[in-house]
Every structure is written in C-alpha cells, then in structure tokens.
A and B are shown apart, each in its own frame.
Chain A
C-alpha cells in the first residue's frame, strides 16, 4: 500500500506520443532514478505524475488513493516537486522561500504555527541552510541556492519527492551533497524519484532505476542490471567502464557508439 504506483500512463503532446504505457512504482524508503537520453520523456513522466500535464490514459495511485480523487492540497501534501533550475522571481529572503513548503498544510489565511516553524528549521538543518537565514536568494551561489530550494521541498514533509535533475549545473561537491540529502530522506520513509543524467551518481545512490527511451520504458530494476552494456549501447549509444572501490561503484562513459 505504501507506494506510488504509475499505472499505465500514456501522454500525448500536440499529437506526438511522449509517453506510452508506463507502468512503475516508487516505494517509500527508496530512491528511484529516472534515466534516459534527452527527449526520452523523463521530465514528462515526472510532470504527469504531479498532474502538471493532462495524461491521455492511465492513473497515479498514491498509498492506495487515485490522485484524481484527491484535492489539490491533499495531493500537495503527498508529493513535493523540486523543479529543474527553479526560478525565484523576487529577491526573497531564504527563510521565506523555505516557509513556502508549508503552504499545502495551510489554508489561505492561516499563519505558520510553532510546529510549522519546527519543520522549517529541521528542513534547513538537513540541507545545511541555517546560516543563510536573512540573506536574499539573489545573493546566493548556485550550490547554496539549490540547497535552499531543496529545503523548501523538504519542508512540505511529503512522503514522495519528485526531483527533476537536482544536480544539474552544480559542482561535484554540491552534487554529492544533494544526493546525500535525498538519500537521507529515504531513512525517514520518503520515496524519492529523481531524474538524472549522471549515470555514475545514479549507480551509486539509487536503489532502483527506470530507463526510458523515446517515451517507452525499457526496464526498471537495480542499477547494476539497468546499466548493463546492452542498455548503454542501445539506449544511450555509449560504452562504459565500471569498477568498484571499497564497495562504492563507479561508471564512466567513454566511447560513443552508433545508436542502433
């Protein structure tokens, strides 16, 4: 019951087939990586799950409830979205951005309660943003900004988190930091679905991977199985070298093949 089920989702946009019959699950307590080449439909799948696009058929079941039967706020309490490269339109202070995470729990007039503030403080501690309180988002570095926006997502306390390329355009240390934060969420019984391009990070941090290509799901399995040579060649058109060190696995793409 405690899972997010993607039940046969198909999506068309402007007549083009974007996703076809996707059947997958994300359980609480696991990180599921969504990988595939550009244009495979990764972001579209995330947006379909979140209800940001109208799917052609299929449904999303969260902990046994069809999302269509949930109100917008109920849905928002179940799933939080870390959008790709999230814009911030006003020079807002860091804490005000994190506070936005509580909106799904508040009616339009309600002020933040003590409990809300506690959740906000925790979210900022887990993302290492506490020292940024009082600063304007426009003065932060890319890494700090990414952490603040992630704190906003954590402050929702949603059991499922959908992150669209959270490590894109971050330096290596921040990439690892963001992945560690997401990984830590699984121990508090969150299910995380994350779109990523870095196969080495996907291999190391994800419990399972879903591989998409041209809107079709090629497979969902453990990273080792999904990142086999055959898939890398057929879907990504690359070969890769793998090794492991102290139980940590690595994968480096190194050769471009002709995509079949």
Chain B
C-alpha cells in the first residue's frame, strides 16, 4: 500500500517538474526566477505576458486535459471490462469534432473565437445525453460499446459531410488542424470554459474505484457484493463523456492518451481497475505536458500538432506494452 502511495507521489513530482519545464521552455527561454516573479506580475512586462497569458493557461490546460483523458480511459476500460476502450469508444471525441467542424464551416470563430469550443462542447454533451438515455435503460456493456461506436460513426459521417460541402480550402485546413489537436494560443478563457466540465465529470466519477474492482469478477457477482452496477455504468460513461467533452472542446482531438495511459499505469503500479484511476490522471497530465513540450521542437514545416505527437509517442508505447504483457491479459 505504501509503495502505491509512493509511486503516486513520484508521478506527481514528475508532473510538477515537467509542468515547470513547460513554463520555462519555448521560443523565449525564461529562467526560474523571472518565471516566479512573472507569476506575481513582478517581472519585465513581456515576460509577465508570456508566462501568465500564454504559457500558464497552456500548461494548466495540458495537465487538466491529460488528466481527464487518462482517468476517463482508465474508468472506461474498467467499467466496460475491455482493455481496448478509450474515450473515443463512447463517441464523445467524434461528436465534439462534429460540433467544432460545423462552427468552423459557418465561420463562427471570426465572430467570437470561443464559438469553436462551445460548439465542440455542445456536440460532446449531445453524445453524453444519448449515452445517459442508453445507460438508464439498464443496457449491457456490449450495448454501450455498440451505441458508442454508432455515435462515433454517425458523427464522423457528419464531419465528412461538412468537409465535403466546405468550399474554402482555408476552412478545410482549419478543420483538419483542429482535429489534430493543439494547445497553442489557448487563453485563460479557454481554461475557464473547459475546466468546469472536466471537474464536473470527475465529480460524477468520484469513488467509483471499489465498484470497478468488484466488476473485475463480473457484473452479476459485483451486484451480489452490493454494488449498483447500473448506476456505476451511468456515472462513468456520462462522467467521462462530460469530462472528455470539456477536454476535447479546448484542445481538439487528442488520440491515444486515454488508451495508452491506463496500460502504462498497470505496468507500473497495479492491475486493480480501482487503483489505477488516480495514477492514470497523473500519468495523463504528465504525458500530455511532455507531448506539448515536444511540439515546441522546431520543425522544418508547420509546427507539430499535439495530437500527432501523442499518437507518435502513444502507438509505439502501446505496442511495447502489448508485447510485454503478452499472455497475462486474457
């Protein structure tokens, strides 16, 4: 048990170190002292602005979004009892993308930049609502997965349709860039928009650990242990949908974090589905912040998009984990 706490503290320390690095490193490198001063508005004016208005919201968003994706992935894998589940499986990511793409197509971001996240969030909430209705009808896990895939396919069909009818190459480029995901040029307003949803989702999922552990021996047996499994499914599916909705609205689609983080944590900490929730949040934040740092590496062409980096890191990591786990996962 104490090693469990120690490893969580280790992850937290790593997350803090990487977050600080992310505040300091960029086109303008800033030393620690000026950064600390800047946080209180006491450094030189350009540095104040870079730290408080550009980098701080970006770092905080990265941590929150990564944590939202990590914990949702872990909770969904636990409740769906499927190591391949991730927030994409329940269709929220695609629905958010549809909302964003519609906003871009209508050129709404020219009227108010936050129309994109607002539309994305609306898309995610519609998906969450459908999932809520399905969960209320005491559906099986398989039904939930199938409905999620259905929502996802329908939303992606909508995205294709919008791209198809879009005439301006610029807006198509904007759509694609949005779907690749990024934390660039995000402000405190983006943060304020996303974080309440992320926190609300977490609140819905608070203390689901015991139920998830019980579910690992099957749904019937979990019920006979006094777990209300229908409520558990509802809380996790809808909670992750809202939380991931907030995350995706702020930064676009970020692939692989929700899938790969719980597997990394299983290898490092525990196979118990209830015990990996907190560390998955920490690991998700860490991974996304690291990936965001990597997007600042100068490249010959356009800047790397965050979703591209997470997939580039995530997919090989996933293959490595699958190779190492081999037969232990059945």
Binding site for B on A (CB under 8 A): 47, 50-52, 71-77, 79-81, 83, 86-93, 96-97, 100-101, 103-104, 106, 108-109, 111, 136, 138-139, 149, 152, 156
Cβ-defined contact, A76 with B211, below 8 A: no
Chain B nearest CB from A114 CB (Å) reads: 13
Please give the residue numbers on chain B whose beta carbons come within 8 Å of chain A beta carbons, in ascending order.
1, 81, 207-211, 213-218, 220-221, 223-228, 266, 271-273, 325, 327-330
A-B CB contact pairs (8 Å), 28 listed: A50-B220, A50-B223, A72-B228, A76-B226, A83-B218, A83-B221, A86-B217, A88-B216, A89-B218, A90-B266, A90-B273, A91-B271, A91-B330, A100-B225, A101-B225, A103-B210, A103-B213, A103-B214, A103-B226, A104-B225, A108-B209, A108-B211, A109-B207, A138-B328, A138-B329, A138-B330, A152-B217, A156-B225
Q: Are A89 and B224 in contact (CB under 8 A)?
A: no
When the two chains form their complex, are residues B228 and A136 in contact, meaning their CB atoms are under 8 A apart? Answer: no
CA distance A89 to B272 in the complex (A): 10
Inter-chain contact A92/B224, CB cutoff 8 Å: no
A172 to B88, alpha carbons, bound, how many Å? 47
CB distance from B171 to the nearest CB of A (A): 45
Which listed residue, B220, B271, B327, B328, touches A81 by the CB 8 Å rule? B220
Indicate if the CB atoms of B329 and A87 lie closer than 8 Å.
no
Question: In the complex, A87 Cα to B226 Cα: how many Å?
Answer: 18
A72 touches B226 (CB 8 A): yes
Q: Chain B residues with Cβ under 8 A from A89's Cβ? A: 81, 215-218
Contact partners of A109 in chain B: CB under 8 A: 207
Interface contact A106-B210, CB-CB below 8 Å:
yes
Instruction: State the CA gap A230–B28 with chains docked (Å).
Output: 92
| CB-based nearest B residue for A101 | B225
Besides A81-B221, A83-B217, A89-B218, 5 new A-B residue pairs in contact (Cβ under 8 A), listed by A number? A72-B223, A80-B224, A91-B330, A103-B214, A139-B328
Cβ contacts under 8 Å, B220 to chain A: 47, 50, 52, 81, 83
| Chain A minimum-CB-distance residue to B213 | A100
Do A87 and B218 touch (CB < 8 A)? yes
Considering the complex, give the chain B residue whose CB is closest to the CB of A79. Answer: B224
Which residues on A sit within 8 Å (CB–CB) of B330? 91, 138
* A contact residues around B214 at 8 Å (CB): 100, 103
What is the CB-to-nearest-CB distance from A215 to chain B, in angstroms, rounded to a whole number? 20
- CA A245 to CA B325, docked complex, whole Å: 51
Which single member of A72, A93, A100, A156 contacts B217 (CB below 8 Å)? A100
Q: A91-B330, A103-B226 are in contact. Are A86 and B218 (CB under 8 A)?
A: yes
Q: How far is the CB of B69 from chain A (nearest CB, A)?
A: 20
Q: How far is the CB of A50 from chain B (nearest CB, A)?
A: 5
Cα(A74)–Cα(B266), bound, Å = 32
- Candidate in A77, A79, A103, A138 with the most chain B CB atoms within 10 angstroms: A103
Supposing A106-B210, A108-B210, A149-B217 touch, asked if A92 and B271 sit within 8 A by C-beta, the answer is yes
CA distance A97 to B218 in the complex (A): 12
Report whether A104 and B226 are in contact in the complex, using a CB–CB cutoff of 8 Å.
yes
* Residue from A76, A89, A93, A103 with most neighbouring chain B CB atoms (10 Å): A89
CA of A184 to CA of B208 in the docked complex: distance in angstroms?
35
* Chain A residues with CB below 8 A from B328, complex form: 91, 136, 138-139
A75 to chain B: closest residue by CB: B226
Instruction: Find chain A residues with CB under 8 A from B271 CB.
Output: 90-93, 96, 136
